[in-house]
């Protein structure tokens, strides 16, 4: 897992602190997912694609005939939310799904195979642009959320949970 620390976003942090906890996670996740899209596309383009569908998956999957239906590991690279032990922390992971577990061997190599870095390279190329996108998307999303909460409060349709969160 690669962590990126960004400093100098005090105003953004203060604005995030103003919205309810239940909405904050969704706002941040949406921004992280949008920022990760170029990384996913780049990683999919860089990942190795085998030509023989019978060689995909595990030995058990090949014996059962499931390997042809699995599809390329490159196509399985996605962004997924990660559960964190810290409640205020939100993170996403970029990588293949569970059916394509063997893609980690392609990325990091084995004793018999050299690594073919497709995820790491995609991250390194796109990380600066991703940080910029996260900041821009968070501001846009905060503005939309604030407008929506204001409309709900004016019309009297604000949920009890949001009302309590806004008062605290």
d(CA 80, CA 91): 9
Residue 18 lies in a domain: yes
| Residues forming a β-bridge with 79 | 94
pLDDT at position 1: 53
On whether residue 48 sits in a domain, the answer given is yes
- Cα(28)–Cα(140) distance, rounded to whole angstroms? 11
| Assigned domain for 1 exists | no
3 assigned to some structural domain: no
The series of mean pLDDT values per 10 residues for the chain, 168 residues long, is: 58 72 81 94 87 70 73 85 83 89 90 93 93 87 79 74 62
pLDDT for residue 118: 93
Rounded-to-5 percentages of helix, strand, coil across the chain: 60, 5, 30
DSSP single-letter state for residue 85: S
User: What span, in angstroms and rounded, lies between the C-alpha atoms of 99 and 102?
Assistant: 8
Beta bridge partners of 70: none
As for how many domains the chain has, the answer is 1
Domain that holds residue 68: 10-167
pLDDT of res. 5? 58
In a domain, 116, yes or no: yes
Q: Which residues are CB-contacts of 88 (< 8 A; sequence separation ≥ 6)? A: 21
């Amino acid at each position: 897992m690669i962590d990126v620390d960004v400093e100098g976003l005090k105003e953004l942090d203060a604005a995030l602190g103003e919205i309810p906890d239940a909405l904050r996670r969704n706002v941040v996740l949406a921004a992280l997912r949008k920022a990760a899209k170029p990384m996913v596309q780049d990683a999919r383009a860089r990942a190795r694609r085998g030509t023989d569908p019978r060689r995909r998956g595990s030995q058990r999957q090949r014996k059962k005939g499931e390997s042809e239906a699995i599809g390329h590991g490159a196509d399985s690279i996605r962004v997924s939310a990660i559960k964190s032990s810290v409640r205020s922390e939100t993170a996403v992971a970029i990588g293949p799904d569970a059916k394509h577990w063997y893609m980690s061997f392609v990325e990091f190599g084995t004793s018999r195979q050299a690594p073919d870095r497709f995820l790491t390279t995609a991250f390194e190329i796109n990380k600066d642009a991703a940080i910029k996108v996260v900041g821009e998307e968070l501001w846009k999303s905060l503005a939309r959320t604030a407008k929506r909460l204001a409309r709900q409060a004016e019309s009297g349709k604000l949920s009890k949970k949001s009302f309590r969160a806004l008062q605290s």
